[in-house]
Amino acid sequence: MLTRLAEGVYRVRGSFGSNIYVLADEGLALVDGGFPMDLPVLVLGLKTLGARLRDVDLAVATHYHGDHTGTMARLQAEGAEVAMHPEDALYASGELPQETCEVGLHKLLFYTALWPLFRYRHFRPDRLLWEGDRLGLLGGMEVLHVPGHSPGSVCLYAEKRGILFSGDLVRNEGGVLEGPPPHFTPDREAACVSLRKVSELDFDMLLPGHGESILKGAGDRFRSRVHGGRIWPLGAV
């Protein structure tokens, strides 16, 4: 299902709460791509806009994890330019083994049983995104390097529109603003630095990798929680 969030900004809800954002602005672009199993719902979402996979010009991955890059290989095969930070690119291509995390037994059994659906689809990015790079989307969108959840995690900041695409650095699951998931964030100290960095931005709309979008007042809500030490891992390192 495709949901309009703002002018030229849409969301496709993927499996298990992963968000795929479609930008119908200067051409057609995506922020994150969901799990591999999310390809059909992405195709349907694009069809609502009168578009196909081959019409996607750019697909940005906020980080290399499979719930954000599962359709990237297919998008690339259809002609999209796939972009991500260089510190995550080697994981995405399979040249470096993915980081290991502690996962509860019930989740381990769940993912093992459904491995064919979750199996990582490796790809080699066409474009590397560095801190401070600018994309010609939504009036100009800046790449922010925000490591912690992964070495090459990025946020995308459209200052003129007051929009922040936060990947997994900031989530809004269950209506509660949170930091990255603890069991999948190997570098807590870096995550703290990244959270404080983002809290200095002036944004109104938050479009997270997981959970509901906040369309107004997001920056103030986020800063309040950061300054109060109420977002993990702030205060826990």
Write down the pTM of the prediction. 0.93
Q: What is the pLDDT of residue 102?
A: 57
Q: Which parts of the chain have pLDDT scores under 70?
A: 100-118, 236-237
Q: How does pLDDT run across 59-101, given as a tens digit for each residue?
A: 999 999 999 999 999 999 999 999 999 999 999 999 998 876 6
Give CB contacts under 8 A, 24+ apart, made by 174-183: 174/211, 175/212, 177/206, 177/214, 177/221, 177/222, 177/225, 177/231, 178/231, 178/232, 179/231, 179/232, 179/233, 179/234, 180/148, 180/149, 180/153, 181/149, 182/232, 182/233, 183/101, 183/102, 183/103, 183/104
**Strand stretches in 38-85, DSSP E:** 58-60, 81-84
Q: How does pLDDT run across 149-166, given as a tens digit for each residue?
A: 999 999 999 999 999 999
Q: What is the pLDDT of residue 29?
A: 98
- The interaxial angle of helices 188-199 and 218-227, nearest 10 deg, is 130
Domains and CATH numbers, the chain: 2-96+125-227 (3.60.15.10)
Give the alpha-carbon dihedral of 99, 181, 185, 110, to 10 degrees.
Answer: -20
Q: What is the pLDDT of residue 70?
A: 94
